[in-house]
Amino acid sequence: MNHLLTIADLTNEDLEQIFDLTDRLKEETNTGIDHPILAGQTLGMIFQKSSTRTRVSFETGMFQLGGHALFLSSNDIQLGRGESISDTAKTLSRYVDGIMIRTYDHSDVEELAAAGSIPVINGLTDLLHPCQVLADLYTIRENKGRLQDKKLTYIGDGNNMSNSLLIGATKVGMDISLAIPKGYRPDEDVVTKAKMQAQESGSQIEILADTLTAAEDADAIYTDVWASMGDEDEAEERKKVFSGYQVNEEVMDVAKDNAIFLHCLPAYRGQEVTGEVIDGPQSVVFDEAENRMHVQKAVMVSLMADQAIMEDL
């Protein structure tokens, strides 16, 4: 594991290591045990897209690991003024120990990783959001005890979240049903990759139009905003298209009685989810948000810690 660009690149052993390490780091954090595993190291954080959870979780997590996180917006580095990604990667590789980037084009993240000599973490692209889905899978595991043979239902837009959930669920052996309106399907290359993974893991994939059919007997129900960052010009049109794709009590009622509700946040009550669901007893959205930090700490340790330290963990 040299980078985290997509969950598809991780082995099942990598995932187990990340989740087991997350268990340990979360427990130590919650019991006040220091773990300065990355003391003296710096994570460069490139933000071409802003975010509450991504910035705070990475920056706080790096601090808890004994290291330093350096916030770099487009206004702070030459990448925003036309310097090539390759030159940026080579330069930052001389200064910092790892890079987290949150940007638009997935190819930019791939180029950054290929040109540099340090680990690169995909903090989000328009195609994929692997850090979020690792936290999602960890949260389901935390609540359900296991991931294999569980059913995840996603309702909403075929965006980077649906893409990443397809990759993540089929990697770990979860069944996944998606309720998505016509014309808003997930990326077809991602669907093809997910189907290949499903053959190996035994997962079942459904991409449907009807929300209640997709949600039937689900262990976890997931949704995201109808208009992601960059889709603001389509917001009003999307409200019409997605009006029948709201997670409400009717949807939760056809899932299993102990089903949990997840959302990557930010959420818009009354649009993709009702207040009764997101603020109700089945919602784990703030546990999920907290787990971003714990899982990302495990990712940073796995990528950036010295081998001798890893062997002792």
Q: Is residue 1 part of a domain?
A: no
Domain that holds residue 164: 131-286
Residues 221 and 77 in one domain: no
Look at the chain and report how many structural domains it folds into.
Answer: 2
Give me the catalytic one of 3, 53, 64, 102. 102
pLDDT value, residue 234? 85
Q: How far apart are alpha carbons 29 and 161 in whole angstroms?
A: 28
pLDDT value, residue 82? 83
Give me the catalytic one of 224, 246, 263, 296. 224
Residues 51 and 103 in one domain: yes
pLDDT value, residue 219? 98
Q: Is residue 19 part of a domain?
A: yes
pLDDT digits (tens, 9 = 90+) for 239-281: 999 999 999 999 999 999 999 999 999 999 999 999 999 999 9
DSSP letters spanning the chain: ---BS-GGGS-HHHHHHHHHHHHHHHHHHHTT----TTTT-EEEEEESS--HHHHHHHHHHHHHTT-EEEEEETTTSGGGGT--HHHHHHHHTTT-SEEEEE-S-HHHHHHHHHH-SS-EEEEE-SS--HHHHHHHHHHHHHHHS--TT-EEEEES--SHHHHHHHHHHHHHT-EEEEE--TT-PPPHHHHHHHHHHHHHHT--EEEES-HHHHHTT-SEEEE--SS-TT-GGGHHHHHHHTTT--B-HHHHHHS-TT-EEEE-S---BTTTB-HHHHTSTTB-HHHHHHHHHHHHHHHHHHHHS-HHHHHH-
Given a cut of 70, the residues of the chain with pLDDT beneath it are 80, 308-311, 313
Residues 198 and 302 in one domain: no
Catalytic site residue 132?
yes
CATH code of 210's domain: 3.40.50.1370
Catalytic site residue 224?
yes
pLDDT value, residue 80? 63
Residues 302 and 191 in one domain: no
pLDDT value, residue 308? 60
Residues 153 and 91 in one domain: no
Residues 37 and 82 in one domain: yes
Catalytic site residue 263?
no
pLDDT value, residue 156? 97
Give me the catalytic one of 64, 132, 197, 271. 132
Residues 217 and 85 in one domain: no
Residues 189 and 282 in one domain: yes
Residues 27 and 64 in one domain: yes
Residues 74 and 42 in one domain: yes
